[in-house]
Every structure is written in structure tokens, then in C-alpha cells.
């Protein structure tokens, strides 16, 4: 057989050699091409969409030429950021109390507990000078993610130095750190998920489902910390600065943009651009991501723009993992905005030739910058020698954990309450509302298709195909066709989150019953997955393709919506195929393939029957369980404002739907009685919910598809 090249959306494959290979390997594309290309297809696609939006935003900013235009953009930035995070909570009594004091020669450290929301306890340390004349200038000091929380030696060095220099300084434990571990495990005396940033993203997943972000909680903690700082008689409310590193630099930037009470800012090791983030380390943990940020026309420098004309110092490390190129680009753009706003000279950038952290060169620059603006004098004095306290000495609670000392609320419980407030369901779901929720972008017309050979088997043939779902997205698929059938035959689209090769037995069983079966690797599944199986990181096992999923959300789309498109284009393909009965196209979704398939079936009535195997039971389940795992790729931002999965199932009636082996937020089986209770409102004669028996063959769950 002559071998000839076939080009599909940038990939080069040898069709003849594929046709000759064994049918035992259904993952044919990665065997015969540079697999890195197709593994990177999804990430490249969502990044390109992000770059388009970021470029459009850059052009818009470049057109700003007056102070009034700067002011208009500042208003827009604040409105869109607050909308993205879900708005701010109600300002309630702080109920602050001091639980202890540590005395130093030049200052004292007060141990404070306050409530940023009712019963949502925040542990903080207040550094108060003993010399000079109050009221003092003050520094709000949000923490980064480094170990030790409030007791980290670098933080103590800077906080003690500020107090010695005559500032009141306040720092507090951010979520997941110090005394505020949100998923505390009493047995292991640490977080159930170990890292604070992992806690952020576990809980951020819950927040997204109700239309919020985790930053809603962390920003509000910072604003309430500022409320407390300003309540102190020792503090001059007209002289407030904010500075922090990494996560603390992030929140210095956020808080300054959103709260005019902060007069001076000096964030360290955060400022860059989203383009450079996507080109390097990708989206970071949930507190740093505010979907639909790119679709809203925003980038990291916009936080600086919103701070103008207040003094703003960008502190960067040349060897930081936050790109120094991006930092320089963000600073250059922001400097022009400051100049346009009439605030030339109130923005500056200091680079140190070192790595991530609030190292001494940046600390010294921060002292000088803050002093220039709050004391009207430079500060080049050496850092004082500081006596460090142990972590236990700085504890504000008896046990060193809010959960075991005070109880109260967590992000999970507060988010659960937010979800309860949103629990309204539309009796007849509007397809437009579902399309908007998942960021669905319809593609019509002929499906571009390339065939890569046919393998003859006993009783059926296997065609290896690649079709283009939308420009830049190729979907590897295999079509099993029975050899002997009278007239047009029914067809099944099979979507398994583990990939088309994971369900060989089910595919052969269906084709043996006389159905044509098209098994596809929707984008990010099977051959198109960026993950590497057993070698995947713990982060990958917990959140899947987080980078692509979060980038999609930031652009206003979702992996659910994009995969639903892949499935609907498969319907387009089958509906025009000779020998296929277009009125009998069915679909099976397995594991992570079930949720996008359910959405596709809701949006496309040509899918006449549906089987869902191992599907997430509901989005509410993710909110109601403390921990989630492996569900991030199925997130739809704000979905619980519109619908939940049982609502979609109910809306499919009278089309037959069979649900088998629902799973919860960590992938554990949902007992049959609980599954039936969750879908009580969807129960009709067309819905069957079952739990597979151990001895039952996998195909049994799909046999209802054969019922005429």
C-alpha cells in the first residue's frame, strides 16, 4: 500500500502505515506523529484565545490619552473585578480581641483575633512602636505562602524593622496557613491536602460553582484587617501603606486597587503580565485567578492602573518564576498610565538580581519608598537586628488552630451558605442560558474529516478518523461499523474521559449488537491529553488539566462547553454518513466524558438516547463536600445560579436516559438510594438510575440503547 502524507490542522501523519497497524491499539495518532503536538493542542488552543483577548485589551489601553479616560478605566476595572469575585460581603462587627502580648525593646507584638465575617476568625499580629509620638503611620502586611506564616523569619524581620522605624504594622494568617488551615486534619496536625495553595484551589473550585472566586474571601480579610488597623488610636488614618511578597504581593496589589484608604503600595514578586504567565508557569492557585478576567478585558497591570495616582513601587526579582520580562512590560505600561493621570514620579520599579522572596535589597527599597511618601523623608538606614519569636509564641489561639480553638466558619461553610441562597431552578431550562454558562461557541457547516485507514475484523470494520471540531482542534476517533445490517443502522457516540482505548470491551459489545459506534477523544481526553498517567503530579491528579481549564474559564469559556462542541460535531459527522440512521443517534458518556456529553445532549436534540456512567452526581455535591478531587475540568462558572446536573437530566425527557454508578466530589460511589434522592425531581418514565453489580458486565449498563 502506498503511503502518503495527510495534513490535518498542523499535524503530519502517515495514513498507510496507520491502516496496517493492529486494531488492538486505538490510540493511533500518537504512535505515528510527534505526540507532543497533539498533547499540547488543547493548551495551545486556549492560550491563543487568551492571547487574542489580551492583545485586544492592550490595544484599548494604548488608546488612553487623558486623565479622564484613566479615571473611566479605573471605574471599569473595579466594577469588573468586584463582579468577577462575586462582590464583597456585608461589613459586620469585627469583635476584635487581644489574646496576648510579646514585649520587645522597641515595640510590642499584640496577638489579635477578629471576625472578617461572623464567626470567620482571623488571627493577626500587630506590631506597635514604643517610641516616638502617635499617631504613627502604618503598614498593612499581607502574607505570602512561605512556611511559618506569621512566624516566617523574613516576615518578622520586616515587621520588626517597620515597628522599630516608627510604623504600626499588621499582618494576619491568610487562608490555609498558620492558625487558619481550612481543611485541618486533627490526626496529622496539618491540612488534609498539605499545601495552602492546594487548599485554595480545592475551595476555589467550590467558589466558582456559585459564581465567586476565592479572592472574595482573601480580599475581604485584608479589607477587614485594614478596618481593624484604622480602629487603633495609635494609627494615623491618612498615612497607610501596604506591602507584601508573593501571595502578599498579590494582595498588596488587589487591596490597593480596590481600597482608597491605602495611600502607598510596594508589592514584591508578583507583578508580571498574564501573557508571560501563560507562556511560562501558567495560571497559579485559585486566589490569583478571577474568571472571566481576559474576557472582561483585564490584565495584571490593570490593578496598578486602578491605584493611580497613589505611589506604587514594583519590586521584582530578575530570577523569579514570575517573569521579569512581564514585570518590565507591566511597569512600562503602568508608568505611561500614571503619566497620563498626571502622577509622573509616583510609580517606580526596583529589580534585584536574586530569586523569589522578600530579600534584603527589596526590603530596603520598600522601607525607603514608604518613608518617602508617609514621612516625607528617605530611609536608607540599615535594618535593625530583630529578635525572632517562635511560631507557637505568636499563636493567637490556645491550640494554634482556629478550627480546634474557636470553631466557627470556613470558606467551605460560607460558600455552602452562598449556594443555598442561590438555589432556584428554572422549570424549563433555557438553552441560551446553558450556552452562556458553559461559554459555548457554536460551529456549523461540514465537518472537516480525514481518514487514516480501515482495519478488517470478524463481523465489523474499524475506521480510524480525525475530524476538526473547530479551527485548531483535531479529534482522533474510531468508527466501528458492523458488516451485515439491513438498512440504515443506529449509531452510538462513545465519550470516555479516560480515552477511547479504555473501553474496548464496551465498544466491541455494542457493535456486536448491530450498532455503529464512534468513539472519540474529545479535546483533552485520550491521545489529546496533556497528562502522562502514573507519572502525573499530585496537583494533576487532583485538578486534571488545571492550566487549560483555568485558562478557558478566564477567557469566558469552559472545558465542558468545548468538549460538548466536540460531541455535537460528532453528531454532525454521523448525521450525514451513509448507512447511519440520523434519527437513531445515541450517546454514552463515561467518567469525565459524562458531564460534557450531558450538556451536548441537552443542546442537541438529535441525540435521542443517553447513557451516563460514572458521572459526577451534581455540582451541589462539590459545594457540599469539604474536599473535591478530579472535578476541576468539569467546572462551569456560576452554574448553580442557573442549573445543576439533575436539572439537565430532567430536561431531556422524554428521551431515555440511563445513569449508572454516580460518583461524589472525590470520585467515591454514591449509594443508589442517595443517587435516586438527588435525582428525585428528574424522575420520569424515561430515566433509569442503577448501580452496577460486581458480576455484571460493563455493557449491561448500555443495553437500553438497543431498545427500539
In this predicted model, what pLDDT tens digit does every residue of 330-350 receive, in sequence order? 999 999 999 999 999 999 999
Residue 364: other Cβ atoms inside 10 A: 18
Higher-pLDDT residue of 422 and 281 is 281
Confidence of residue 100 (pLDDT cuts 50, 70, 90): very high
Place of cell 495514513: 15
pLDDT exceeds 50 at position 293: yes
Given a cut of 90, whether residue 534 has pLDDT beyond it is no
| Secondary element (H or E) of residue 620 | helix 619-624
Q: Cell digits for 225?
A: 484587617
Distance CA 149, CA 387 (A): 17
* 85: nearest Cα among 351, 303, 380, 231: 303
- Rounded average pLDDT over 26-54: 84
Which pLDDT score is estimated for 700? Answer: 65
The answer to which of 16-30, 85-99, 216-230, 420-434 has the lowest mean pLDDT is: 16-30
pTM for this entry: 0.94
More confidently predicted of 702 and 285: 285
pLDDT at 11 over 70: no
Instruction: Classify each residue of 215-252 as buried b or exposed e, where b means 16 or more C-beta atoms within 10 Å of its C-beta.
Output: bbbbbbbbbbbbbbbeebeebeeebbbbbbbbbbbbbb
If we measure between CA atoms, which residue out of 628, 519, 489, 582 comes closest to residue 201? 628
Q: What is the pLDDT of residue 6?
A: 32
pLDDT digits (tens, 9 = 90+) for 600-623: 999 999 999 999 999 999 999 999
* Residue with the three cell numbers 502522562: 532
Residue 694: per-residue pLDDT: 59
> Which grid cell sits at 528?
489529546
Tens of pLDDT, residues 159-194: 999 999 999 999 999 999 999 999 999 988 899 888
Mean pLDDT, the chain, rounded, equals 92
Residue that wins the pLDDT comparison between 15 and 140? 140
Q: What would the pLDDT profile of 536-579 be if each residue is shown by its tens digit?
A: 577 788 899 999 999 999 999 999 999 999 999 999 999 999 99
List of residues 6+ apart from 694 with CB closer than 8 A = none
Residue 22: is it exposed, middle or buried by C-beta count within 10 angstroms (0-12/13-18/19+)? exposed
What is the predicted pLDDT for the residue at 34?
Answer: 59
Residue with cell 495560571: 283
Q: How many CB atoms lie within 10 A of CB 684?
A: 13
C-alpha cell at 213: 472566586
In the predicted model, is pLDDT for residue 503 greater than 80? yes
Percent of the chain topping pLDDT 90: 81
Residue 22 has pLDDT above 80, yes or no: no
- Which candidate, 695, 701, 697, 589, places its Cα nearest to that of 649? 589
Check pLDDT > 50 for residue 129. yes
- 261 band by pLDDT with thresholds 50, 70 and 90: very high
The set of residues, in sequence order, having a beta carbon less than 8 Å from that of 531 and lying 6+ positions away, is 540, 544, 545
Residue 643 pLDDT > 70: yes
pLDDT attached to residue 33: 57
Rounded CA-CA distance 453/1 in Å is 11
Three-class SS of 95-158: CCEEEEEEECCCEEEEEEEEEEECCEEEEEEEEEECCCCCCEEEEEEECCCCCCHHHCHHHHHH
Q: What is the pLDDT of residue 36?
A: 75
pLDDT at position 4 is: 26
Give CA angle at 483 (482, 489), nearest 5°: 50
- Give the mean model confidence (pLDDT) for residues 108-126: 98
> What's the rounded Cα separation, in Å, for the pair 311 and 373?
7
**Of the ranges 350-364, 414-428, 636-650, which one carries the lowest mean pLDDT score?**
414-428
693 or 508: whose pLDDT is higher?
508
197 in Cβ contact with 611 (< 8 Å)? no
Report percent pLDDT > 70 for the chain.
92
d(CA 261, CA 432): 42
Contact call for residues 235 and 166 (beta carbons, < 8 A): no
pLDDT digits (tens, 9 = 90+) for 103-116: 999 999 999 999 99
Other beta carbons within 10 Å of 88? 12
> What pLDDT score was predicted for residue 7?
33
Positive or negative: CA dihedral 284, 287, 288, 290: positive
**682 or 442, which is more confident:** 442
**Can you give the pLDDT at residue 697?**
63
Amino acid at each position: 500500500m502506498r503511503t502518503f502524507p495527510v495534513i490535518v490542522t498542523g499535524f503530519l501523519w502517515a495514513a498507510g502505515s496507520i491502516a496496517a497497524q493492529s486494531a488492538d491499539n486505538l490510540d493511533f495518532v500518537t504512535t505515528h506523529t510527534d505526540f507532543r503536538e497533539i498533547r499540547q493542542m488543547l493548551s495551545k488552543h486556549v492560550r491563543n484565545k487568551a492571547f487574542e483577548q489580551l492583545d485586544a485589551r492592550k490595544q484599548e489601553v494604548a488608546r488612553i490619552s487623558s486623565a479622564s479616560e484613566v479615571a473611566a478605566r479605573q471605574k471599569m476595572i473595579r466594577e469588573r473585578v468586584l463582579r468577577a469575585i462575586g462582590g464583597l460581603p456585608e461589613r459586620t462587627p469585627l469583635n476584635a480581641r487581644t489574646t496576648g502580648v510579646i514585649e520587645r525593646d522597641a515595640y510590642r507584638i499584640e496577638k489579635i483575633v477578629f471576625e472578617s465575617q461572623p464567626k470567620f476568625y482571623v488571627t493577626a499580629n500587630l506590631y506597635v512602636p514604643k517610641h516616638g509620638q502617635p499617631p504613627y503611620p502604618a503598614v498593612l502586611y499581607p502574607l505570602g505562602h512561605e512556611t511559618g506564616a506569621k512566624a516566617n523569619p523574613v516576615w518578622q524581620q520586616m515587621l520588626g524593622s517597620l515597628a522599630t522605624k516608627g510604623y504600626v504594622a499588621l499582618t494576619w494568617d491568610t487562608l490555609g496557613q498558620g492558625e487558619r488551615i481550612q481543611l485541618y486534619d486533627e490526626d496529622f496536625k496539618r491540612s488534609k491536602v498539605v499545601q495552602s495553595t492546594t487548599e485554595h484551589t480545592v475551595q476555589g473550585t467550590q467558589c466558582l460553582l456559585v459564581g465567586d472566586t476565592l479572592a472574595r474571601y482573601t480580599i475581604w480579610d485584608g479589607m477587614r484587617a485594614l478596618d481593624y488597623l484604622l480602629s487603633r488610636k495609635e494609627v494615623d488614618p491618612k498615612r497607610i501603606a501596604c506591602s507584601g511578597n508573593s501571595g502578599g504581593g498579590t494582595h498588596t496589589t488587589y487591596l490597593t486597587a480596590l481600597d482608597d484608604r491605602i495611600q502607598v503600595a510596594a508589592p514584591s514578586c508578583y507583578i508580571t503580565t498574564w501573557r508571560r504567565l501563560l507562556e511560562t508557569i501558567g495560571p497559579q492557585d485559585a486566589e490569583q485567578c478571577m474568571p472571566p478576567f481576559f474576557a472582561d478585558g483585564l490584565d495584571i497591570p490593570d490593578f496598578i492602573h486602578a491605584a493611580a495616582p497613589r505611589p506604587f513601587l514594583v519590586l521584582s526579582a530578575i530570577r523569579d518564576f514570575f517573569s521579569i520580562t512581564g514585570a518590565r512590560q507591566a511597569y512600562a505600561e503602568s508608568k505611561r498610565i500614571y503619566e497620563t493621570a498626571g502622577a509622573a514620579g509616583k510609580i517606580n520599579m526596583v529589580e534585584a538580581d536574586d530569586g523569589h522572596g522578600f530579600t534584603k535589597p527589596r526590603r530596603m527599597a520598600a522601607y525607603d519608598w514608604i518613608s518617602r511618601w508617609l514621612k516625607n523623608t528617605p530611609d536608607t538606614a540599615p535594618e535593625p537586628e530583630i529578635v525572632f519569636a517562635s511560631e507557637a509564641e505568636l499563636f493567637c489561639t490556645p491550640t494554634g488552630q482556629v478550627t480546634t480553638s474557636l470553631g466557627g466558619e470556613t470558606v467551605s461553610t460560607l460558600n455552602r451558605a452562598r449556594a443555598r441562597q442561590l438555589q432556584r431552578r428554572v422549570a424549563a431550562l433555557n438553552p441560551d442560558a446553558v450556552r452562556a454558562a458553559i461559554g459555548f461557541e457554536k460551529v456549523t457547516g461540514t465537518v472537516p474529516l480525514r481518514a487514516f485507514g480501515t482495519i478488517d475484523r470478524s463481523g465489523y470494520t474499524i475506521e480510524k478518523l480525525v475530524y476538526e471540531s473547530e479551527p485548531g482542534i483535531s479529534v482522533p476517533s474510531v468508527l466501528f461499523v458492523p458488516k451485515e445490517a439491513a438498512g440504515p443502522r443506529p449509531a452510538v457516540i462513545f465519550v470516555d474521559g479516560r480515552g477511547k482505548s479504555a473501553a474496548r470491551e464496551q465498544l466491541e459489545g455494542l457493535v456486536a449488537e448491530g450498532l455503529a459506534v464512534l468513539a472519540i477523544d474529545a479535546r483533552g481526553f485520550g491521545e489529546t491529553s496533556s497528562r502522562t498517567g502514573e507519572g502525573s503530579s499530585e496537583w494533576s491528579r487532583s485538578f486534571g488539566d488545571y492550566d487549560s481549564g483555568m485558562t478557558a474559564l478566564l477567557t469566558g469559556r469552559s472545558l465542558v462547553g468545548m468538549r460538548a462542541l466536540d460531541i455535537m460535531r460528532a453528531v454532525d459527522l454521523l448525521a450525514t454518513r451513509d448507512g447511519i440512521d440520523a434519527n437513531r443517534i445515541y450517546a454514552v458518556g463515561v467518567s469525565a466524558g459524562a458531564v460534557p456529553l450531558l450538556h451536548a445532549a441537552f443542546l442537541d436534540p438529535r441525540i435521542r438516547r443517553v447513557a451516563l456512567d460514572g458521572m459526577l452526581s451534581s455540582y451541589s455535591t462539590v459545594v457540599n463536600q469539604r474536599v473535591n478531587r478530579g472535578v476541576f475540568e468539569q467546572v462551569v462558572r456560576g452554574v448553580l445560579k442557573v442549573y445543576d446536573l439533575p436539572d439537565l437530566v430532567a430536561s431531556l425527557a422524554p428521551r431515555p436516559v440511563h445513569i449508572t454508578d454516580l460518583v461524589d466530589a472525590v470520585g467515591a460511589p454514591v449509594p443508589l438510594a442517595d443517587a435516586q434522592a438527588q435525582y428525585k425531581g428528574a424522575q420520569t418514565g424515561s430515566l433509569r438510575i442503577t448501580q452496577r453489580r460486581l458480576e455484571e458486565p460493563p455493557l449491561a449498563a448500555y443495553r437500553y440503547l438497543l431498545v427500539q
